[in-house]
Structure 1
Amino acid sequence: MPNPIRSNQISRRNLLKFGAAALGTSAVAATLSPGCSNIRANQPPEIPDNLSPDDALTLLMEGNQRFVSETRLNPHQTFVRLTEVAEHQTPFASRLSCADSRVPVEIVFDRGFGDLFVVRQAGNLVTPEETGSLEFGTAVLGSQVVMVLGHERCGAVTAAIKGGEFPGQIGSLVAAIAPALATSQGQNGDALENAVKANVYWQVKQLKKSPVISELITDGKLKVVGGYYDLDTGEVELLN
């Protein structure tokens, strides 16, 4: 049976043409120097139109540090911003996050309307639907970085470790996490934390199999990383 992704794959040029026609372009008020180091104190960090994948990741992690240190700037959370992005969106980053209610992505990274393209599912799993969503967020909308974000004490990973029978479709989530668990066997430290991180690594690996995602990475236009969110401190650890 032919691979539906490959058989129906459209070129990045056509994707961008479609995105430009459907979504338009967005003017940006300021530019950042390399490393995004010129963000002024107490000023919402603006997003440049020449953002690189490394700069996008820096913006994300700086936002998380503001959250952790209780110095949030709450950028792009006004009604003015809401109206600015009502017609067009150009999120600088995409996120595949667990659906856990304790991981509110925009708050954790101190961002607002139109900044992040967020896909959420229990266990932060890469399925065909999630992959397609992230292909759209990157190839069409222009996100420069994708983070697969797992978190401390993940219930879906806990269920996969315990095993057993589950009602409804919960078992499908557990089955999708199971292959990652084998990679964490025998590691030192907390077994659940190791399993959560192993699942993040596994899902990153699956996401990079997308021909659309892999082409963007090869061209230096996208970075795909893993992250681990600490429920107790609010800090995100980069997983490379």
Structure 2
Amino acid sequence: MNFDRRAGHEPATPAPARTSPARRALLRTGLTGAAVLGTGVALGATPASAAARRRPRPSTPEEALRELAVGNRRWRTFREQHPDETPDVRQSLTSGQHPFALVLGCIDSRVPPELVFDQGLGDLMTVRSAGEVLDEAVLGSVAYGVLELDIPLVLVLGHQSCGAVKAAVQADQNGGHLPAHIQYIADQIAPNIDRTKEGDARVDATIDANVRAVRSRLAGEPDLAAKVATGDLAVVGARYELTTQRVHRLT
């Protein structure tokens, strides 16, 4: 993966008023879980940021990108380690989590981020929607990972042969209407269709254009943009090739 270069900074936009420390602590407790197995509610449970890991947690965007790059190299060369699955790690995670990256990917069953990057329990926060489409639930999930868990990297991961993008391109070409809520997905992808290409090349180019558009929108969200501007966060677009299992960065 060409993740050695830092993501470009988006213009900073003034962030809304910050959540109070007490409220942030409440959110962390409620959404990461304060119960320890077999003991009920754990008074004084370890905070999310202190969850134990057997490997050092990447704390900067550059370190997080390197960790993903190394993991993807293991995956595509069939040298997976399946880290952070030991009994000790599982027990430590009952009191909180501290993932080092958030991956927004497609729902495609061939592209599970934990496998593609050879990461384990507590390492990645993953959000998945067809074609990486954003809605309020997805935006809120990404914001939670960044603002409440201090995740330093958001990776928007598209992939070769994306069915959601193909359906959107075909519907755009033939004027058809997709069933039920699938049309919503196509409508969100449609503005990113690359009409300079034809056939399969149009689908392939649109996959990349869609990733770039989603990345730009996330990086422009006020709360996220403020962290990008200070260097505490990178929002990066990337693509997974099914034929080689390689992830590479989209600039």
TM-score bracket relative to the smaller structure:
0.7 to 0.9
Q: Does 1:167 align with 2:176?
A: no
2: CA distance, partners of 1:70 / 1:16: 41
CA offsets per residue over residues 99-142 of structure 1, 9 Å max, x none?
00111110110100000000001111121211110110011112
Q: How far is the alpha carbon of 1:158 from its aligned partner? A: 0.2
The answer (yes or no) to whether the contact 1:19–1:141 under 8 Å persists in 2 is no
Q: Judging changes above 3 Å, is the alpha-carbon distance between structure 1 residues 13 and 158 closer, same or farther for their aligned structure 2 residues?
A: same
Q: Does 1:203 align with 2:203?
A: no
Q: How far is the alpha carbon of 1:160 from its aligned partner? A: 0.7
1: CA distance, partners of 2:112 / 2:86: 18
The answer (yes or no) to whether the contact 2:238–2:247 under 8 Å persists in 1 is yes
Amino acid at match of 2:50: S
Amino acid at match of 1:196: I
- Residue of structure 2 equivalent to 1:185: 195
Where does structure 2 lack aligned partners over 5 or more consecutive residues? 1-12, 33-46
What SS does structure 1 have at the residue aligned with 2:50?
A: coil
1: CA distance, partners of 2:51 / 2:210: 38
- Equivalent in 208, 211, 214 of residue 225 of structure 2: 214
The higher relative CO (CA closer than 8 Å, separation ≥ 6) is in: 2
The answer (yes or no) to whether the contact 2:51–2:96 under 8 Å persists in 1 is no
- Residue of structure 2 equivalent to 1:142: 150
- Residue of structure 1 equivalent to 2:132: 124
Tell me the TM-score normalised to structure 1 length: 0.82
The answer (yes or no) to whether the contact 2:85–2:120 under 8 Å persists in 1 is yes
CA offsets per residue over residues 31-73 of structure 1, 9 Å max, x none?
xxxxxxxxxxxxxxx223x721111111111100111111112
Q: How far is the alpha carbon of 1:151 from its aligned partner? A: 0.6
Where does structure 1 lack aligned partners over 5 or more consecutive residues? 1-5, 31-45
Q: How far is the alpha carbon of 1:27 from its aligned partner? A: 5.6
Q: Does 1:94 align with 2:76?
A: no
What SS does structure 2 have at the residue aligned with 1:73?
A: coil
- Residue of structure 2 equivalent to 1:37: none
Tell me the TM-score normalised to structure 2 length: 0.79
The answer (yes or no) to whether the contact 1:93–1:146 under 8 Å persists in 2 is yes
- Residue of structure 2 equivalent to 1:114: 122
2: CA distance, partners of 1:234 / 1:176: 27
Question: Percent identity over the alignment?
Answer: 32
